[in-house]
Structure 1
């Protein structure tokens, strides 16, 4: 006999937000592939724009339609990594001098940030990392508040573009290392909360 929760899962998986996530991922990865082959900065910029715009759109639609779900959150997180990794690879292939700062970025985003982002699953009543302030506001503010999301990837990419125009190659290293430090501090705080050696500090999103 099929239970009610199982019966509604296909509807959530095929909902409008997840369709947007799928389309924006295919679009961003297609553009990233073109950028990889052509070595054209314009394609890289378009790839990041389609990734960031689509990532904002699917979350906004999910909230407006009241269609947020665990499956949608996990799908979104996986798609974000797929887009970021291919775009970073295209950047490194086009501009070899970006390999250093992007390697640091990939460690923090691909490993530490992924672990942190999936940690919301440890609290079954959370629908996504966007509600992690209900568990611990500092970790939320450092990682999933609007400014933190904007800085997590955008700051590194913008610093690379600025460095390419000005020759300030130290800038993306500084930004990438700063982001890495935030992830290390956040991970340590999360571990101490999970181990019971630190009290979580839930609060409001603000």
Structure 2
């Protein structure tokens, strides 16, 4: 269901100048990304599962913290949203590589997951820039179905935690099946977003 009629556009200045950049949530994003990547690289180098768990913990807790501070302090910005999306990919890529080093049997589902997350999900997450909304978290005002499937709390949890949880339990086939389902959702969502973009130009 498209809700263009309820879309509250940002002021032109907010689109032309998507900052400010020096905000508390951006600082949180920077710190949690740096720490998670360092821990992930250490886990990769030493094939240490505990360092990998620490990397994921910093990544996930920090990802929740930067979003919470942005909303709490009224510091949501389009630049911050893009920074968060890019930082998530850095954390995920390093942690995924460490996971394969620690558990080579995870290679196939992790490769499929990375392709889905780094390509499909990145394109989808950055699609909010085509509309005057602050971030993917506000995409429900553009299309509620796409938002529900990708950025609702349940969808965010399933996007990574479901796959990583299955891998942690050694359920490689289940992890791959989860990736395939998530990938199919992403492909449908991207097709829907392209349709919306083309429709908005018509």
Question: Is TM (by shorter chain) over 0.5?
Answer: yes
Which segment drifts farther, 28-37 or 188-197? 188-197
Does the 8 Å contact 2:18/2:78 carry over to 1? no
Indicate how the Cα distance of structure 1 residues 122 and 49 shifts in structure 2: closer, same or farther if over 3 A, else same.
same
Gaps of 5+ in 2: 1-12
2:128 pairs with one of 102, 113, 120: 120
Structure 1 match to 2:4:
none
Partner of 2:187: 184
Report the CA distance between 1:11 and its aligned residue.
Answer: 7.3
TM-score between both structures, scaled by the size of structure 2: 0.88
**TM-score for the superposition, normalised by structure 1:** 0.86
The runs of 4+ residues in structure 1 deviating greater than 3 Å are none
Of 16-25 and 186-195, the range deviating more from structure 2 = 186-195
2:172 is aligned with 1:169: yes
Q: Choose 38-47 or 17-26, whichever is displaced more.
A: 38-47
The equivalent of 1:204 in structure 2 is none
Report how far residue 99 of structure 1 moved. Answer: 1.0
Shift of 1:193: 2.1
Counterpart Cα distance in 2 of 1:144 and 1:52: 15
Q: Distance in 2 between matches of 1:72 and 1:175?
A: 29
For 2:61 and 2:112, locate their aligned partners in 1 and report how far apart those are by CA, in whole Å: 24
Contact 2:41 2:94 in 1 (8 A): yes
| Superposed counterparts of 1:37-116, under 5 Å | 37-116=45-124
Unaligned runs of 5+ in 1: 198-206
Once residues 97 and 11 of structure 1 are traced to their aligned partners in structure 2, the CA distance between those partners, rounded to angstroms, is: 43
